[in-house]
Amino acid sequence: MWHPPRKTPMESNVPESEQQKCEEKRDSCQVDSGFLSSGNLQVSSELGDYELNVATTAPVVPEPMRVDSGVDLGLSESLSQLTLKQVTLNPLASGKVQVEPTVELTPVSTDKLEQHDASTLRHESHRSPETLFNEEPWQLYYTQDDDGDTQLHIAIVQGFLEAAFSLIRMAPHVCLLNILNDDGQSPLHLAVLTRQPRIVRRLILACANPALRNFRGNTALHLACATGDLASAKALTDPLSTVERNYLHPGKKIPALPQNLEQRNYDGEMCLHIAAASGQVELVRLLLRLGADLEAREALAGKTALHLAVERGCRSVVAFLLQECRPCLDTQTYAGITAYQIALCFDSQLARELVRLGATPKPLPESDSDSSDEDESPANNYLPAIARIRQNVVGVKV
């Protein structure tokens, strides 16, 4: 800090009136900021003797040290983007010196920040280009997208037959063929829903699991029975031919066909129940030929295939069951209702046919109504009970 020299003998000759004027002027002035610009700079010759005199008499107070210079250089944004990087410096050219870590400030680029944010969202972002280049093709094609679909799912839905075949051959492990998307559908489910039996068969030969369930508990065979797709049902259940056995690689496990035909969905329905309720005679024939249980009951109401066919009015299925299968005609549901009683309400001719074939003509269950109308028919008494039955009608939802 610059200090003026002490008063010389010549400066003592300044009149007192002038000193008093200077003091009044100094008191009226505002405090200076300490910054000298070109507008208020004065040469030493212009300084009055009274200013020199005041400077010598005023006590010198040391100015406290300021942390910053007081000048804004616009560095706040740059300083906020600095990171600490550990570096080692050896200040001596020779000799053993203990290496001490020093801190070096390096700017953080915007690209690094974007990469860091992306790495928290996608686990693949940290991989280098060489890693992506060295990946096997199946790793890219069997990566699930936002909907859980792989390229195999998409190829099947779009109907790209050759692409689907190539993707099936490419899979190094059978677990990749059993991937479920977010809707709970495997490639086998989608192949059945899109009616592509060739892809269904190729998946079966590649040992895809036919017992996989979707979110409603339906297997691919359940879906084939619901849609009446006989070709897909055969592709799922036919035993392997000689040509297909040669297609398998040596040492590859032969898939067990057909699947468990007693597997139920989440509504307690077997494939036979769905086929009978849908009026699919050929599918019912196929399932019974493969060993399905004709007397099996669905889990909700205890109905057999005959109960369901009579209730739905599937005369072709009823005729096939009565003429070729000879089911038990007196089997009761969980509510104690037989097929004859259901037919008596909806089809009196079928009821007589059931009696002719050996069904017991049991009377209709009594109604809960307290009505004493004599003209009320037995069928009308049975309507409330049959309405409760129809609430549990089997119908698969895909």
Note the pLDDT of residue 374.
47
Under 8 Å between Cβ of 343 and 312: no
> Over 70: is that where the pLDDT of 260 sits?
yes
Nearest of 361, 357, 316, 318 to residue 338 by alpha carbon = 361
Q: Is the predicted pLDDT of residue 387 greater than 70, yes or no?
A: no
pLDDT at 228: 95
DSSP state of 125: G
Residue pLDDT, tens place only, 211-251: 999 999 999 999 999 999 999 999 999 988 888 887 776 66
pLDDT at res. 294: 95
Structure tokens at 108: 């953080």
Residue 304: predicted pLDDT: 97
pLDDT in tens, 296-335: 999 999 999 999 999 999 999 999 999 999 899 999 999 9
Calpha distance 107→110 (Å, rounded): 10
* Whole-number average pLDDT of the chain: 74
Indicate if the pLDDT at residue 55 is higher than 90.
no
Region 163-178 average pLDDT = 93
Whose tokens are 């212009």? That residue is 46
Q: How far apart are CA 140 and CA 172, in angstroms?
A: 13
34 has a pLDDT exceeding 80: no
Q: Which helix (H) or strand (E) holds 191?
A: helix 187-193
Contact, 165 vs 177, CB < 8 A? no
Task: Identify the pLDDT of residue 269.
Answer: 96
Residues contacting 392, CB < 8 A, separation 6+: 300, 301, 303
Higher-pLDDT residue of 127 and 340 is 340
The token pair at 204 is 């079966």
List domains and CATH numbers for the chain. 136-260 (1.25.40.20), 268-364 (1.25.40.20)
Which pLDDT score, from 0 to 100, does residue 190 have? Answer: 97
Range with the poorest average pLDDT among 264-273, 350-359, 376-385: 376-385
pLDDT in tens, 85-138: 444 444 444 455 444 444 444 454 545 444 544 444 344 444 555 554 556 777
pLDDT at 69 > cutoff 60? no
Q: What confidence tier does 209 reach under pLDDT thresholds 50, 70, 90?
A: very high
